[in-house]
């Protein structure tokens, strides 16, 4: 991820042939910012944290639904259609669209005032709630793909990006810590939603569980939408990527890291509850393990933000990438080989730590390396690619798995390690090319 001079952030488009409106000047420097206040920073922290909880946190809890949809006791789908690959795609479609919607939402945001931004967020909340509510009426996988997957994912993206795309602008020296806290909302959301979904499925069944979640999303998210903060830039933020920047090795490595890591990161979470049952645990304990992983993930994001501010965000990002690969090959693969429950528990905790650290640091390194003025455009495109990666990883993993048997998980683990290993080499490439582009090597970067 390369440092881009402000002069390089032009309106040359990577994904559209239409010229942007010129009635409002484009912000060209990270110094062209409106002043902020501690109160506004606190509101941004709270609203962004809650947004992550209700979007990414709920996405990361889909593994509980995955385990239920593929279980013999499920009552919502025909048994013949509830394969791991198909049902995994429901969750990954929702989470993938949450991120990939950035390519379309960021240009819209550049043209909206504060009221328009809030209206966009409210629309997203309504789509999320409607998607979950309509899912309760479904009886086929393709119907769940359209509701719990597509409609929910579109709504999640409409809420996520208007709030999260401006969050880094409100912090400077402690941006890593602030973003670590904000992004810890995914783990906290998963910690809450995983056991809640499992309890609802057991107590009231899948249809009323989905309706309860629809109501919960509506009640929690509407106040968040009303707190959507405006961008601090005096002019419009660039939302398109300069072709010259897009051809830089550091940008290409960043895109590769985004795709591969997103594909690999979601795999363990999607199959965590299901794999726990295969090992011999109950479905309830599988949901508890998913909650534990999300809880550890939440704490890790905060601590990684602090570590990144102190030791360098790119350095810490690389370390978390290495540890992700080690945890998958050392503990998950070991658990599969011998059916070892202890190694599986260790993996759940360790992967929660390392995966959380990576996801917390990735957006901050985008701002550090490409410049704050290019954050919306570069991060938006990379998150679009991350969405594609998310929609690639778990469904392919489900196809590789086939029937949910212990021995079949070996190839899934190796596939996951390959994705995460590729992402690790990409972030190392970003670190090296960033130094080349800046013509200086800093140990703390």
Provide the token pair at 160: 């996520």
Residue 30 lies in a domain: no
C-alpha dihedral, 427 to 428 to 429 to 430, nearest 10°? 50
Q: Please tell me the predicted confidence (pLDDT) of residue 81.
A: 52
Q: Please tell me the predicted confidence (pLDDT) of residue 229.
A: 77
Q: Please tell me the predicted confidence (pLDDT) of residue 78.
A: 78
CA angle 331, 334, 340 (to 5 degrees): 100
Number of domains in the chain: 2
**CB of 155 closer than 8 Å to CB of 258:** no
Provide the token pair at 292: 């534990």
- Domain shared by 232 and 256, yes or no: no
- Domain shared by 265 and 290, yes or no: yes
- Domain shared by 57 and 109, yes or no: yes
- DSSP structure string for 389-438: HHHHHHHHHHHHH-S--GGGHHHHHHHHHHHHHHHHHHHHHHHHHHHHHH
Q: Please tell me the predicted confidence (pLDDT) of residue 375.
A: 66
Q: Provide the H-helix boundaries in 165-174.
A: none
C-alpha dihedral, 41 to 42 to 43 to 48, nearest 10°? 90
Q: Provide the H-helix boundaries in 6-61.
A: 38-52, 58-59
Provide the token pair at 297: 């993930």
216, 237, 258 - which closes a domain = 237
237, 272, 300 - which closes a domain = 237
- Domain shared by 68 and 207, yes or no: yes
- Domain shared by 324 and 428, yes or no: yes
How many angstroms separate the CA atoms of 198 and 274, rounded? 12
184, 207, 237 - which closes a domain = 237
- Domain shared by 340 and 387, yes or no: yes
Residue 73 lies in a domain: yes
Residue 187 lies in a domain: yes
CA angle 58, 223, 362 (to 5 degrees): 45
Residue 11 lies in a domain: no
How many angstroms separate the CA atoms of 445 and 148, rounded? 40
Number of H helices, E strands in the chain: 17, 0
Q: Which residue is it, tokens 């709920």?
A: 58
Q: What's the predicted TM-score (pTM) here?
A: 0.72
- Domain shared by 105 and 198, yes or no: yes
How many angstroms separate the CA atoms of 409 and 126, rounded? 38
- Domain shared by 96 and 159, yes or no: yes
Residue 155 lies in a domain: yes
**Each residue's pLDDT tens digit, 64-117:** 898 888 888 888 887 655 566 788 888 888 888 888 887 788 778 777 777 888
How many angstroms separate the CA atoms of 303 and 134, rounded? 39
Q: How far is CA 27 from CA 10, 162, 375, in A?
A: 10, 18, 12
Q: Please tell me the predicted confidence (pLDDT) of residue 233.
A: 63
Kind plus residue range of the DSSP H or E element containing 319: helix 313-327
How many angstroms separate the CA atoms of 166 and 45, rounded? 11
Residue 95 lies in a domain: yes
How many angstroms separate the CA atoms of 98 and 386, rounded? 10
Residues of the chain below pLDDT 70:
1-36, 79-84, 173, 176, 231-240, 367, 371-376, 445
**CB of 402 closer than 8 Å to CB of 292:** no
Q: Find, among 186, 124, 127, the residue nearest to 161 by Cα.
A: 124
- If you ran DSSP here, which 8-state letter would residue 53 be given? I
What is the residue range of 291's domain?
Answer: 242-444
- Domain shared by 183 and 294, yes or no: no
Q: How far is CA 432 from CA 251, 284, 310, 426, in A?
A: 12, 45, 20, 10
- Burial of residue 113 (CB within 10 Å: 0-12, 13-18, 19+) is exposed
Q: Find, among 9, 51, 49, the residue nearest to 30 by Cα.
A: 9
What CATH number corresponds to the domain at position 155? 1.20.1250.20
Q: Which residue is it, tokens 């501010």?
A: 309
**CB of 150 closer than 8 Å to CB of 97:** yes
- Domain shared by 336 and 257, yes or no: yes
- Domain shared by 182 and 66, yes or no: yes
Residue 12 lies in a domain: no
- Domain shared by 224 and 340, yes or no: no
Q: Please tell me the predicted confidence (pLDDT) of residue 21.
A: 33
Residue 325 lies in a domain: yes
């Amino acid at each position: 991820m390369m440092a881009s001079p402000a002069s390089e952030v032009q309106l040359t488009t990577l994904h559209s042939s239409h010229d942007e409106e010129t009635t409002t000047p484009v912000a060209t420097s990270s110094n062209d910012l409106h002043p902020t206040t501690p109160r506004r920073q606190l509101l941004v922290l709270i609203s962004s944290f809650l947004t992550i909880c209700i979007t990414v946190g709920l996405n990361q809890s889909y593994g509980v639904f995955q385990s239920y949809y593929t279980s013999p006791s499920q009552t919502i789908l025909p048994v013949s259609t509830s394969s791991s690959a198909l049902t995994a795609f429901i969750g990954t479609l929702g989470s993938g669209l949450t991120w990939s919607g950035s390519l379309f939402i960021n240009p819209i945001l550049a043209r909206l005032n504060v009221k328009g931004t809030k209206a966009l967020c409210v629309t997203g909340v309504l789509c999320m709630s409607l998607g979950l509510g309509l899912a309760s009426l479904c009886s086929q996988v393709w119907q769940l793909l359209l509701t719990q997957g597509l409609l929910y994912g579109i709504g999640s993206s409409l809420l996520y990006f208007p709030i999260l795309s401006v969050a880094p602008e409100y912090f400077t020296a402690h941006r890593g810590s602030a973003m670590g806290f904000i992004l810890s909302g995914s783990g906290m959301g998963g910690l809450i939603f995983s056991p809640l979904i499992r309890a609802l499925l057991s107590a009231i069944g899948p249809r009323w569980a989905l309706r309860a979640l629809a109501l919960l999303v509506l009640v929690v998210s509407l106040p968040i939408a009303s707190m959507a903060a405006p961008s601090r830039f005096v002019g419009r933020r660039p939302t398109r990527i300069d072709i010259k920047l897009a051809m830089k090795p550091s940008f290409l490595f960043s895109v590769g890291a985004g795709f591969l890591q997103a594909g690999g990161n979601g795999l363990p979470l999607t199959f965590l509850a299901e794999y726990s049952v295969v090992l011999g645990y109950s479905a309830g304990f599988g949901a508890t393990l998913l909650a534990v992983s999300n809880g550890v993930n939440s704490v890790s994001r905060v601590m990684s933000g602090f570590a990144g501010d102190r030791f360098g965000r790119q350095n810490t990002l690389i370390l978390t990438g290495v540890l992700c690969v080690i945890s998958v090959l050392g503990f998950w693969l070991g658990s599969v080989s011998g059916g070892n429950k202890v190694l599986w528990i260790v993996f759940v905790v360790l992967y929660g730590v390392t995966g959380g650290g990576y996801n917390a640091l990735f957006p901050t390194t985008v701002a550090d390396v490409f410049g704050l003025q290019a954050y919306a455009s570069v991060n938006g495109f990379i998150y679009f690619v991350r969405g594609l990666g998310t929609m690639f990883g778990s469904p392919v993993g489900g196809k590789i798995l086939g029937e949910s048997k212990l021995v079949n998980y070996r190839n899934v683990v190796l596939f996951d390690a390959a994705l995460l290993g590729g992402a690790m080499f990409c972030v190392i490439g970003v670190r090296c090319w960033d130094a080349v582009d800046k013509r200086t090597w800093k140990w703390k970067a």
